[in-house]
Homo-oligomer: A and B are copies of this chain.
Amino acid sequence: MESSTLTGEGSLEITTRSLHDQVANRVRDLIIEAVLEPGSRIDEAALIQSLGVSRTPFREALRTLAAEGLVVIKPSKGVIVRKLTPEDVQSMLEVLGELERLAGRLACERASDDEIAEMVALHERMLEHYAARDRMPYYKLNQEFHSRLAALSGNETLQEMQGNLQARLKRIRYIGNERPEAWAGAVADHEDMVKSLRAHDGGALGEAMWTHLQRTWDRVKDRV
């Protein structure tokens, strides 16, 4: 899965990743992990040096990240890590809410029992991390939970757009579990979601997904 991709025709095709893609992925991670701080200017020379590549693939990578909405390129001025305004976050969560509602509905229609069982297992691992208050592993599984649910929708466009928004909002979701009550609330939301999923109730799951993101906004809006 790391270096292979399934084409539309169903043939397995090995794609040796270009340097460009590797750079894009690494810089994306730096942004998501907030090593590169939102609002800060990206020092091309410094990053190039630390990554050990030349300017060409690096700048191409920045173009990709700009199209994804992670950085903003100001012509002749430089590129800065995109800093989300509260309005940005709200608008993204609003859209993500609709997407995940759709994902929830479709997932219930199309997912197999095995796939649902895997989701439930994932959820239970999350509960263990919550019980232990291990925030980082919980957070990572949470990302995976939402990604896999989008994948279960069987709608590739939905998956792509959900992935894009989730990437932009990664740090927001992390913040969303910062306060104990907020985290507890998120866990409760997930309980609802899993219950609906087990019952194959697409409508209920969709609503639960949507509500979860609405509440996420409530939980983070005063700290973005």
Which A residues lie at the B interface, using CB under 8 A? Answer: 8, 15-18, 20-21, 56, 59-61, 63-64, 66-69, 73-76, 85, 87-88, 91-92, 94-95, 98-99, 101-102, 155-158, 160-161, 165
A14 to chain B: closest residue by CB:
B75
A91 near B15 with CB under 8 A, answer: no
A16 near B76 with CB under 8 A, answer: yes
B67 near A68 with CB under 8 A, answer: yes
CB A121 to nearest CB in B, in angstroms, measures: 27
A21 to chain B: closest residue by CB:
B75
CB A200 to nearest CB in B, in angstroms, measures: 20
Interface residue from B61, B95, B161 paired with A102 (Cβ < 8 Å): B95
A160 near B69 with CB under 8 A, answer: yes
Given contacts A74-B15, A75-B15, contact A94 B102 (CB under 8 A): yes
